[in-house]
């Protein structure tokens, strides 16, 4: 049913979106290619042994009674079970997260201890918005490349069901001062301050830039307008994502996903619960979510608030083979980019893709699998239009001509963040693991993953399938 909906949607509604095609022709023509390896003399090969994740669930649903370290712990335990890695064999643990639970500020350490890893294994937490677990992976790669470690667990977690809501700054100052107030007059003065109504207004969290005070959804809407990405194009891409995610689920292709028996919940969680195969007519009824009344970003063509955790095992190739593992892929060139968030916040993939290809000595045509983070449909389509624009390439990217956009028949064929969900800190591991699994499934050699992130950041990485 999902495949039928997908074909109908893509043939009927994407005349203006020339990159989108159905996947059937591509799948039928997949051939194993023989290309040069990116292995370099005197450079340590780093491999992805395995990656797993919890089911990604919409916030406020089945995971709502948990704490974030529970999700990270479950991902780690799933990785232990999948790889049989001894609990004292990991040299270092790095976990990415964005909105931190104050009780577990170093969530990497708390989850590692709860998962049963040796207390002698150091762990730290990193944050870089939506590319936090990408940063966890590359931090681990750096430790291995420097000879400090041979085996690193890299992961990520986000828990949007219970984000910290703070008292106002005035109330916080009163509470802190109350600990030092000794005399009755001093305590009465603080009490009078605390009785003012404005003091009791809480500070609610918002996905907004501190430097610009602009929400990411507003940035996404502004980006889509700048690159003339229509509401129709965005809705069609969102439908594509959900249809492909449903198809991948039905075909049991999402092998990184773990089952999760949540305490107190009768049914085991076995699937991502945000997948909704819909129609253009249904999506067309939704009102703009951020720029009202004329914006084009809606709840359906934007990624939703998600709870989830992920973990992967990366090693030096020598250590992996010594321990008897058959790696999934080599982790090759990577980079981070940044631009002015006041200009355009979400163009990281457009800036990162041609740079990482150049560093690796590859072209767009060499890439068999693309896994791009789908923050918003308009965001990703704008990045593709930027990459396919000569004027943007010469004016903003410093290139002589456009690098070109990836063909859609190679992009996110198992769904993406729009449909599977986007736990901010955990998506990077999903991208890397899915890219490796798709390379194996489709017989390709090279994959490229890329993502945007708050602050005007972006990340891109080349992954090479491990030889059979």
Smallest Cα–Cα separation from 373: which of 391, 359, 398, 353? 353
User: What is the structure's pLDDT at 27?
Assistant: 41
Q: How far apart are CA 144 and CA 75, in angstroms?
A: 22
**Residues 6 or more apart in contact with residue 197 via CB below 8 angstroms:** none
**Cβ-contact 143, 152 below 8 angstroms:** yes
Task: Please give the structure tokens belonging to residue 6.
Answer: 């997908």
Q: How far apart are CA 123 and CA 131, in angstroms?
A: 18
293: preceding bond cis by omega (within 30 degrees): yes
Q: How many CB atoms lie within 10 A of CB 282?
A: 12
For 164, half-sphere exposure in the C-beta direction (CA atoms, 13 angstrom radius) is: 12
In tens digits, what is the pLDDT along the chain, a chain of 468 residues? 444 444 454 444 444 454 443 333 334 334 445 578 999 988 999 999 999 999 999 999 999 999 999 999 999 999 999 999 999 999 999 999 999 999 999 999 999 999 999 999 999 999 999 999 999 999 999 999 999 999 999 999 999 999 988 899 999 999 999 999 999 989 899 988 999 999 999 987 777 888 998 999 999 999 999 999 999 999 999 999 999 999 999 999 999 999 999 999 999 999 999 999 999 999 999 999 999 999 999 999 999 999 999 999 999 999 999 999 999 999 999 999 999 999 999 999 999 999 999 999 999 999 999 999 999 999 999 999 999 999 999 999 999 999 999 999 999 999 999 999 999 999 999 999 999 999 999 999 999 999 999 999 999 999 999 998
Q: How far apart are CA 12 and CA 132, in angstroms?
A: 37
Q: How far apart are CA 153 and CA 142, in angstroms?
A: 13
Q: What residues are labeled active site?
A: 130, 452
**Cβ-contact 420, 56 below 8 angstroms:** yes
User: What is the structure's pLDDT at 431?
Assistant: 98
DSSP state of 458: E
Q: How many CB atoms lie within 10 A of CB 240?
A: 30
Q: How far apart are CA 143 and CA 114, in angstroms?
A: 24
As a whole number of Å, the end-to-end CA separation of the chain is 34
Q: How far apart are CA 39 and CA 464, in angstroms?
A: 10
Alpha helices in 84-151 (DSSP H): 107-115, 132-145
In Å, the largest CA–CA distance within the chain is: 82
Please tell me the pTM assigned to this model.
0.92
């Amino acid at each position: 049913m999902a495949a039928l909906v997908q074909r109908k949607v893509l043939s009927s509604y994407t005349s203006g979106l020339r990159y989108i095609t159905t996947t059937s022709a591509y799948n039928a023509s997949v051939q194993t290619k023989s290309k040069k390896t990116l292995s370099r003399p005197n450079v340590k090969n780093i491999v992805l042994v395995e990656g797993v994740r919890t089911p990604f669930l919409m916030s406020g649903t089945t995971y709502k009674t948990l704490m974030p370290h529970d999700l990270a712990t479950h991902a780690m335990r799933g990785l232990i079970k999948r790889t049989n890695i001894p609990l004292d064999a990991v040299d270092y643990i790095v976990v990415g997260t964005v909105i931190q639970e104050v009780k577990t500020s170093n969530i990497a350490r708390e989850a590692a201890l709860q998962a049963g890893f040796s207390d002698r294994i150091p762990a730290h937490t990193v944050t870089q918005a939506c590319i936090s677990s990408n940063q966890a992976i590359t931090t681990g790669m750096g430790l291995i490349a420097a000879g400090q470690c041979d085996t690193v667990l890299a992961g990520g977690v986000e828990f949007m069901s219970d984000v910290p809501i703070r008292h106002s700054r005035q109330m916080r100052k009163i509470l802190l001062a109350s600990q030092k107030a000794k005399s009755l007059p001093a305590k009465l003065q603080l009490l009078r301050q605390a009785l003012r109504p404005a003091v009791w207004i809480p500070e609610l969290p918002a996905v907004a830039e501190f430097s610009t005070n602009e929400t990411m959804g507003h940035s996404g809407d502004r980006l889509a307008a700048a690159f003339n990405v229509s509401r129709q194009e965005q809705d069609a891409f969102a439908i594509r994502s959900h249809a492909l995610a449903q198809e991948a689920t039905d075909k049991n292709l999402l092998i990184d996903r773990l089952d999760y028996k949540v305490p107190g919940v009768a049914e085991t969680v076995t699937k991502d619960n945000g997948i909704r195969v819909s129609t253009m007519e249904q999506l067309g009824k939704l009102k703009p979510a951020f720029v009202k009344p004329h914006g084009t970003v809606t709840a359906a063509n934007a990624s939703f608030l998600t709870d989830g955790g992920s973990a992967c095992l990366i090693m030096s190739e020598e250590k992996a083979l010594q321990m008897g593992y058959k790696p999934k892929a080599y982790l090759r060139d990577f980079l981070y980019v940044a631009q002015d968030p006041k200009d355009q916040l979400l163009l990281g993939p457009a800036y990162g893709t041609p740079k990482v290809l150049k560093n690796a000595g590859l072209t767009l045509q060499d890439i068999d699998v693309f896994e791009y983070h789908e923050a918003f449909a308009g965001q990703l389509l704008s990045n593709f239009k930027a990459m396919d624009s000569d004027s943007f390439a010469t004016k903003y990217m410093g290139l002589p001509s456009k690098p070109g956009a990836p063909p859609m028949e190679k992009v996110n064929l198992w769904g993406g963040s729009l449909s599977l969900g986007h736990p901010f800190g955990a998506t990077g591991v999903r991208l890397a693991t899915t890219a490796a699994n798709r390379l194996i499934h489709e017989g390709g050699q090279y994959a490229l993953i890329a993502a945007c992130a708050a602050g005007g950041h972006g990340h891109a990485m080349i992954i090479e399938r491990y030889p059979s």
